[in-house]
Structures are given as structure tokens and as C-alpha cells.
Structure 1
């Protein structure tokens, strides 16, 4: 895919973690709430796992609703599947309706420029690396390389930044989650998380977005975050089965409207 140009009205979605029940409900909810929207920007922890049939369920409901999904991968998505296309600088089309975007991928939403920068540090990495499972639950590729950060920084500014991970300066509700996690996890993992957040700092400082959308901490909040280059309007999206997982974005105005609990009623 040489370029990606999306319409000015899109949906944005937080973490889904492979929930088939949520996919069935939430895609129908998006279609019911705004029949004009055809694209969903997903901020990661989508549910791309080895040898899993989740994508079949996603494709079934995506076809029924006519919604395409463009995913900025999270730390809990299968980076082994993404490594080959991302290594070539390509997007990863993992199914008929679902495409994952590599770090630093630039595209447009209406007349707005946008950057996708996926991955995050698992705050419980020490636990995840010791678990026995039929498939990996931790991937070393979950955090960016220095080269990936440099390439994203070198691309310059854009109107919209989509990440899974969060920077070091965040909204209050996000900060509360990070403080709690930092107190619960191994010291080496706290340092690991901070290093990943510093990478997002660097990308955000270079992109200077008018709007930054992210997931990862499973809370919903929207507001301005103070940075060295001024306030950045930020939308944090929560995880599946919770209000604040889905919003509509009008790129022309950068207005954001979160779907209400009533609009998501079939998912509860």
C-alpha cells in the first residue's frame, strides 16, 4: 500500500483484546450510530494472536457492517506476524477487513495528515516472560527501536497522532493508572515502561499533533496535556465492554464524540 487516504469522518476504538462478543456488538453500534462512517482507527491490543479464529469473527461482522479496520498495533498483538511486512516498510493486511500499520506510517484523514506509531511496554513484562502458554504472551518487538523513533521524528509534523502507548506527560486519569502500575510491578519493568514512554515523548514532540489518540491504560478521558511545545488535545480510550471505548472523529473540525452507553447497549 503506497498511501492511505481515509474520509474525514472515522470512528476511533480502544483496546479489544480479542473479544468476539464485543466485536459483534461494537461494530453494529458504530454502524447504527453513524451510517456514513466506513473506517475505524484502532489504537491496538486489537487481538491479533497466533493460531486464533478471532479474525474470522471480525471479518464476518466487518463485512456485515461495511467497516474497515486500520490498526496501530499494541503490545499484546502478535508482533511475530507483523515483523515481515513491517520490516519491508509495508502495512500488514492480516484479513480482508483488517490492516495493521507500521510505526511511523503516515496517511490522511480527510484533509488532515496523520501518523501511526504502535507498540508499548508491557508493565508486567517480568510476569509475562515466565508464563507457559501455547503461544507467546510477550514479544520483544513491542517497543520501538531507535531507528523507528528516528524515522518517525524525521517525518516532521502532522495533525493527528495515533499511538497505543502513552508519553510521560498524560491526562490525570491516565496518570493515576500509571502510578498504580508503577507501584505494583518489578522495578526493572517500571524503568522499561518509562523508556518506552520517552520514545512517545520524542514522537509527539516532533509530530506536534493537534490531536493525540491512544489506548493502553484502559481509561477514558479527553482534555489538554501540557507539553514543552504547548498543550496537546488528547483522547484516551478505554478497553472493551466499557463506555469510552468508541468515539467518532470529524477530522475537518477535530471534534470528538464518544458513543454513549445507550448507543453501545447491545454490548453490555
Structure 2
């Protein structure tokens, strides 16, 4: 991983953005979303990712190359290669770093302006599965949200939208509260205490900057809720889970989350279209190969027609009709009678 560019004071004009929860490096899931995105939101060019990202940069660029997504801003989570990320962010404190054509890693905290809205990003979280990980290989202490990051985030003043990986303490999201209450994975008390302290740090910032909406990942518990004072919290699901992808209207700060059935259906339709295009391309290639064997070469018009056929803009029947019109003429007895005498 290397830095390609640094940027501070990020300002984006977007009125609508995509927001995603944890991906955990799941290339297949990202590819499926990329196939559904053009149909779901052709106007969206920016994605905000809420951490547990850990995606291969070059492959991610390739995955989203045929979508409208031109930039992905990552609010880092706990399951990230912090051993690579920290040195890059430390070179220019407070600046975002671009590590591929479209991927930007955000510092902690980060301030952005999107569609005229004040956005605060505060990455990091506590790994409740830390005991099963290896320090320096699959876990790094740099995942933790520090007191300095909390103080800096608060000092930056109010925000309209807050992006975090960790949930805030006092969350109004019922599925998150239920997980925290029941501890279904039976994590040790000491680890749970670290998690609670991490949520308290996010909660402290949340209470201070008072965003209209806070969106987070981490708990793999999709849902939403509102506090008594009207602040909303949205918890996004993980990869292959319902509620992993949302589309956020920056004017209203309302978010729509397409269901899994719609995402899979659109991805399958894309796959069908891709396979059909490949079949057409193979057919054209075979035809032109046969021409070459006969010492023939296609005209510019023929090449243009072939590309239109491959792209699905013209059918084979339409091309045959064109050839017939261009290169044939009615037989003598079928010529149109233009004499006007009806005979």
C-alpha cells in the first residue's frame, strides 16, 4: 500500500451518495454491488464506506470501473491493515490519502463537505474478537479511537452527518441494543469493557457535535432508530447481509436501503447481459476470422455494425435487413409501377 495523493478540506458537490457497511475484503460482494449500482443509482458517483474495508486497491478499481463510482472515502474500522495505514496517515496528519485510482482513506477525525452538508468521520473501533487474532498480522492496537481524536472531533464543532465504524453509546437502534444486551457470541467481560469504552468515546463526540444523522457499521445489525431529541442513527449490515448498502440524500439526510433480492436480481441481470455480449463478440470474431482466411477485410461500416451488434444496439435481423437493402435490388418483374395508371 502506498500513498498516491494527499488532500485536506474535502468538498464534494454530490446531492446523493452511496453508503456501505463492512465488507471485510469480500471481493465477490463488492463485485455484485458494482453490477447492481448502475441500475439502482446511475447518478451516484461517491461512495462512503464505514470500515472493516480491507479491500485490494487495484482489484477494487477494476470492480468499479464500469460503474459511475469515481471515489470511495473509507472511514476505517477495526479490521483493517493498520500496520500499513498508520504510516501513510502519519505522513500528513489530518489529510486523507489516496491509495488507488478511486480509494481514499480518511484520517481520524476527518471533516468533509458533501452537498453543502457538514460531515464528520471518526474511524476505529474495539475488536471484540481480538483474542483470536495475532498482533501485527490480523490485529493492531491502532484500531482504537484515542482521546486526542475525540477532543479534535469535538473541537471541530457541529456536524450534520457523522460517519463512524463504531456504534455510539446510548444508541436508539434496537437490533444493536439487543446484541449488546445478550452477548450472543459470549465474548469475555474484559473485551466487552473495551468495546463499551470505545462506544462511549463515539457517544461523547455524538452528543457534542449533535448530527442529525449518524451512520455506522461494525455490529452487523442493520436497523435504525431515533433518540428522544430527534437525532437519528442508522446501523448498516455487513457483506452478504441485508442493509449493507444505502443511498443517502444529502439534502434531506434520508437514506434508502435496497433489499437483497433487488441487489441480487440486478446483479444477475448484469451477468446475463455480460454473457450475451461475450457470445456476440465471439460470433463476430469467428465471422471476421473466416473473412481473413478468404483474403477479405471488413469495411469501416462493417466494423461499426459489428460493434453495435456486440453492444446490443442492433440485432442480427436488423443487420441482415440493412445488407439486403444496400446490396440487393428488386427483380425486374417486382419493380414498383410508378406510371400512376394503375396497370
Q: TM-score, normalised by structure 2?
A: 0.71
SS in 2 for 1:161: strand
CA distance in 2, matches of 1:98, 1:181: 34
Q: TM-score, normalised by structure 1?
A: 0.90
CA distance in 2, matches of 1:242, 1:219: 9
**Residues 174, 224 of structure 2: 8 Å contact kept:** no
CA distance in 1, matches of 2:208, 2:238: 28
More helix by share: 2
Residues 1:105 and 2:110 are matched in the alignment: yes
Structure 1 runs not aligned, ≥5 long = 49-53
Residues 1:210 and 2:235 are matched in the alignment: no
Which deviates the most, 8-17 or 174-183? Answer: 174-183
Q: What are the superposed Cα offsets for residues 149-181 of structure 1, whole Å, 9 maximum, x if unpaired? A: 111111111100000001121211011122333
CA distance in 2, matches of 1:119, 1:82: 12
Q: CA deviation at 1:231?
A: 3.2
Structure 2 runs not aligned, ≥5 long = 1-6, 269-343
Q: What are the superposed Cα offsets for residues 189-233 of structure 1, whole Å, 9 maximum, x if unpaired? A: 11111111111011101210000000001111122134xxx2311
CA distance in 2, matches of 1:30, 1:203: 33
Written as runs of structure 1 = structure 2, the 5 A alignment for 1:129-208 is 129=134, 136-170=137-171, 171-181=173-183, 184-208=186-210
Q: CA deviation at 1:129?
A: 4.2
- Rg comparison, structure with higher value: 2
Written as runs of structure 1 = structure 2, the 5 A alignment for 1:111-130 is 111-129=116-134
**Coordinate RMSD, CA, aligned:** 1.8
**Residues 89, 96 of structure 2: 8 Å contact kept:** yes
Q: CA deviation at 1:147?
A: 1.1
**Residues 162, 213 of structure 2: 8 Å contact kept:** yes
Q: CA deviation at 1:182?
A: 7.6
CA distance in 1, matches of 2:19, 2:236: 9
Residues 1:4 and 2:5 are matched in the alignment: no
CA distance in 2, matches of 1:183, 1:221: 20
**Which residue of structure 2 aligns with residue 47 of structure 1?**
54
**Which residue of structure 1 aligns with residue 33 of structure 2?**
26
Q: CA deviation at 1:55?
A: 2.3
CA distance in 2, matches of 1:20, 1:207: 35
Which deviates the most, 245-254 or 217-226? Answer: 217-226
CA distance in 2, matches of 1:160, 1:262: 28
Written as runs of structure 1 = structure 2, the 5 A alignment for 1:79-90 is 79-87=82-90, 88-89=92-93, 90=95
Count of paired positions: 256
CA distance in 2, matches of 1:241, 1:124: 20
SS in 1 for 2:242: coil
Q: CA deviation at 1:9?
A: 0.6
SS in 2 for 1:252: coil
**Which residue of structure 2 aligns with residue 237 of structure 1?**
236
Q: CA deviation at 1:120?
A: 0.3
